[in-house]
Amino acid sequence: MSRASNGKPGFSYESQEAFNWVDYLKETGGSAAPAKCFKQFETPPKNEFRPGMKLEARDPRNLTSICIASVISTIGPRLRLRLDGSDDKSDFYRIVDSTDLHPNGYCEKRNELLQPPLGFMGNPSSWNTFLKRTKSSASFAPESFFKPEPPTPSANFFEVGMKLEAVDRKNAQLICPAAVGAIDKDQIHVVFDGWKGAFDYWCRYDSREIFPVGWCQKGEHPLQPPGNRAVPPKNRIRNNHSEEETREKSATPPIERSLNHINSTDGEKCVIYIKTSCDCGPYIEKDKLRTLNVKKVGPVPITSGLHVAVQSLVDCAKHQRTMFSRIRDGNGRVIININYGDKVHSKRLPPIETNDALWAFLREFLQDVDACQRLFSPDGFIKCEQCTNASSSEKKANFPTGSIKKSQPSSPATAEGLLKSVPNEPVSRDHRRHLEENGNIGEVKKIRLSVGDKEKVKSEKRRSSGANSNGGATRNSLNNSLSTEVAQGNKLFFKKNVTKNFRIILQE
């Protein structure tokens, strides 16, 4: 196989460039719903929140309650939120100008009590203690971060056939191109291209989950191209795009391509692959690492990538306290949380703004926890020579466990260095399992998906048949779907349901 054809590096399907509304409207013959239809500002509000900040938020499952919530991540003008005391399965998204969000003290001013979230995991009698502890250790988002709500349209101005952008309610972090399929008084039927109704829903015309065409791009929110999920009959944009991309890719060696990709994103985005088959050292539980939900992060801003990468490893720690003590702290924006001694402890990481600094930090971090320094990689799930060789012997000669090796002969600290240091060799048969675990499917000759979710199977089938019939296109499309699920820090937990159901089966 040629590595150029594995199509791993350089995916940017999560970014706005991958989807062009102008072409799409031409191709599908639709018109965009005018801005007056929406309860959204034409210019999406600025998102100043940072992960880890707390606020008061309406419990989406119990609308009479206001709870303490934490910002888990930010995505464009939206926040991924988790109510303190609930688990990650009830995370939800809100735009920063939502009336469901309030600064600290909102309840108190109104003589209301902050409520435990529906499904509070603690003992109900411990709520007050929990609340006190949470509030005392929290960094609350300043009042200026909360933006005023946009005005409500005076009537339902939508017409059938109008195009818009809409939240995919089954994967709430995604916003996808959609159309108005039907109208009933105050309700509109939001229809997603190519899904035969699986994701469609009715909502009020003033729903905060629908946006005018172009909203995502203006708000730097990813827009999921329809072809990522299925190819609508009239729309061949996705295919054309894949072909172009395949051509482009085979022309440029993968490493350079990946560097271009990393360097070309001005706001310094990063892509981090977590190679869970690498030696993770004595502090991390191998099994937890292997079942990690996120194996690819990005393209996301540097700070989000840093947060997800470090927090993911910390979450896999054998001994939280020891792990915690090994993280170097600083005064940056990223905060890592860890649970021990019945308390949540936080540590602030150093300020990191560039890919160079990011990779230098990650390498040091891996070194500090005695793990393989290629466990994080900017360039896909490329074979790690060191760990593959070591896996047959009991211990990795170069990485004796149990002590910090700051004097370890260092591999290059920059993304470029890391990429260049990655061995570029054909893949052996022995290595197949390693690849499979890593999700590297560049080697796959035939791909069969066994998926629990019916929709997913349908879409995969349709996507494969819709895509170019050569293997490369099929692989690309599978890669897309995988990387789409895994991509971006904010999609972190969503993956849980999907990926467990995915199995990549290698056939001769």
> Based on CB atoms, which residue is closest to Zn ion, 373 or 414?
373
> Based on CB atoms, which residue is closest to Zn ion, 57 or 278?
278
Binding residue for Zn ion (CB under 5 A) from 387, 419, 422, 447?
A: 387
User: Binding segment for Zn ion among 21-29, 127-135, 387-395, 486-494 (CB under 5 A)?
Assistant: 387-395
Q: How far is 194 from 181, CA to CA, in rounded Å?
A: 13
> Based on CB atoms, which residue is closest to Zn ion, 388 or 490?
388
> Based on CB atoms, which residue is closest to Zn ion, 278 or 487?
278
Beta bridge partners of 348: 335
> Based on CB atoms, which residue is closest to Zn ion, 374 or 475?
374
CB of 372 to Zn ion, least distance (A): 3
HSE-CB for 194 with a 13 A CA cutoff: 25
CB of 375 to Zn ion, least distance (A): 6
> Based on CB atoms, which residue is closest to Zn ion, 57 or 387?
387
Q: How far is 12 from 167, CA to CA, in rounded Å?
A: 20
Beta bridge partners of 75: 78
> Based on CB atoms, which residue is closest to Zn ion, 57 or 271?
271
Residue whose structure tokens are 């719903």:
33
- Could you say which residues in the range 206-225 bind Zn ion, by CB under 5 A? none
- Could you say which residues in the range 359-378 bind Zn ion, by CB under 5 A? 372, 374
278 binds Zn ion (CB under 5 A): yes
Output the DSSP codes for 74-115: EETTEEEEEETTS-GGG-EEEETT-TTEE-TTHHHHTT--PP
Q: Helix H segments across 265-377?
A: 286-290, 302-315, 320-325, 355-368
Binding residue for Zn ion (CB under 5 A) from 210, 358, 384, 492?
A: 384
Contacts of 342 (CB under 8 A, 6+ apart): none
418 binds Zn ion (CB under 5 A): no
User: Binding segment for Zn ion among 83-91, 209-217, 277-285, 349-357 (CB under 5 A)?
Assistant: 277-285
Burial group, residue 244, by CB count within 10 angstroms (0-12, 13-18, 19+): exposed
Nearest to 11 by CA among 353, 482, 466, 492: 482
Binding residues for Zn ion, rule CB under 5 A, total: 6
Nearest to 362 by CA among 424, 426, 297: 297
CB 296 within 8 Å of CB 308: no
CB 427 within 8 Å of CB 443: yes
308 binds Zn ion (CB under 5 A): no
Sign of the dihedral defined by the CA atoms of residues 386, 387, 388, 390, in that order = positive
CB of 294 to Zn ion, least distance (A): 18
CB of 422 to Zn ion, least distance (A): 10
Q: Which residues bind Zn ion (CB under 5 A)?
A: 278, 372, 374, 384, 386-387
